[in-house]
Amino acid sequence: MSVTVERQSTSSNTHFRSRWMVCVLSVVSILLVAFLSGCPGPKQPESIYGFEKNSSKLQIGFLTVGPTSDFGFNYQHNQGRLALEAMMRDRVHTVVAENIPETADAERVMQRMSDEGANLIFATSYGYLDSTLRVAQKNPNVIFMHCLGTKQAPNMGTYSAALWEPAYVSGMVAAMTAKGKHNLGFVTSYPIPPVFWIINAFTLGAQSVDKTITVDSVFTNSWNNPAAETEAVRSLAANKGIAAVYVLVDSPIAGVQAADRAGIYSLAQHADLSTFAPRGWLTGSVWNWGKLYEEVAQSVINKTWTNKHISGGFKEGYVSLAPFGIAVDGETQKKARQTVDRIAAGQLSVFTGPIADGDGVEKIPAGKSLSAEEVLTMDWVVRGVNGVPKK
């Protein structure tokens, strides 16, 4: 009897514990459902770039490889962005990501911009090309524009501006101001097409004044190395006896300052640097990106955008000559402005043959002028350019 009672007691306890657990689980389930019903779900990552969600404005992102305060390449692109906003304030919203290296970081930034609502992305550095292509393929509803590129995709176009036009006029100004000195200098980064078409145009412009002029170049293998740029200018001035130097890097400030200290003339690319070299500044080549950016944005809004390469020069207002320095006399200024007008009017094309390379091989036959697309792939230098690394 006692055994039976013991068994009955154990069975009752087990039944009680089971019913108690069911009740507890039911209460927990009810509370959990009530809690979740009041929650919006997993929290979405916050926007880090500041795109305006649910806005009627075109959302535009920009990537720059360096700081927009460099008073050079990145500065000028940002000036174009600011000009775009000023012209289309009620129709566009722009953001910029600075100091983005030409690595997988560029892909991550462009993908994040796409995820956050960008409709149009400008990848402003030459080395972003392949990254931009990969991100464009993953985001067919976003339009991408790559600066200086030579490859397109259905939703990716390319753009440039004919900076070889003001570079040619800059070479003329340098030669006329040098007054009989036959050696000029050029400090730059890498032996790549965007460098070749500038150094070639500068040399051809100088040789249009004096056929005997040569240009000694130094390649620093960096877009931003002020110490190397300073030493390159100093070395050219001391060892080569150059009369003037053209500086083509992301921020030419260090180079033109070194030229002023060395007592030689300076020219540069991107912006007016006369305040940094008050004695020796001559002029330079300036990109005016704002007008191009406005035209691209408007085409996206109008749904007329295509992936065709966009380029233009003096005529389109995409480039200009930097203000002249105090060393440039009135007659030289007059001839420079006349040349600008001739180029803008289509009366003079910078790369019109016959033009030979450094080995004397004819690259452009007589009477032929290169198209913008042909200039962009230029991988050779004209006769008279020295110091270019061998391939």
Residue 11 has pLDDT above 70, yes or no: no
- Alpha-carbon distance of 72 to 191, in angstroms, equals 19
Q: What does the pLDDT look like over 299-325, one tens digit per residue?
A: 999 999 999 999 999 999 999 999 999
Q: Which CATH number fits domain 58-159: 3.30.1360.20, 3.40.50.2300, 3.40.50.300, 3.90.226.10?
A: 3.40.50.2300
Beta bridge partners of 146: 123, 158
Residue 19 has pLDDT above 90, yes or no: no
- Alpha-carbon distance of 240 to 242, in angstroms, equals 6
Q: Which CATH class is domain 164-287+319-386?
A: alpha beta
Reported as type and span, the H/E element at residue 84 is helix 73-87
> Among residues 363, 371, 272, 361, which one has the least CA distance to residue 324?
272
Beta bridge partners of 95: 61
- Stretch 240-256: mean pLDDT: 96
Q: 58-159 and 164-287+319-386 share one CATH topology? A: yes
- Alpha-carbon distance of 110 to 144, in angstroms, equals 9
Arithmetic mean of pLDDT over the chain: 89
- Alpha-carbon distance of 113 to 345, in angstroms, equals 40
Query: Could you tell me what percent of the chain has a pLDDT over 90?
Result: 83
Confidence of residue 41 (pLDDT cuts 50, 70, 90): very low
Q: What does the pLDDT look like over 178-205, one tens digit per residue?
A: 988 999 999 999 999 999 999 999 999 9
Q: What does the pLDDT look like over 88-143, one tens digit per residue?
A: 999 999 999 999 999 999 999 999 999 999 999 999 999 999 999 999 999 999 99
Residue 37 has pLDDT above 60, yes or no: no
Instruction: List phi, psi (to 5°) of 21.
Output: -65, -40
Amino acid identity for residue 315 in this structure: K
Q: Domain spans of the chain?
A: 58-159, 164-287+319-386
Q: What is the pLDDT of residue 215?
A: 98
- Alpha-carbon distance of 189 to 199, in angstroms, equals 12
Amino acid identity for residue 196 in this structure: F
- Alpha-carbon distance of 51 to 115, in angstroms, equals 10
Q: Calculate the dihedral angle through the C-alpha atoms of 296, 108, 221, 254, rounding to the nearest 10 degrees.
A: 70
Helices (H), 221-354: 226-235, 253-262, 289-301, 330-344
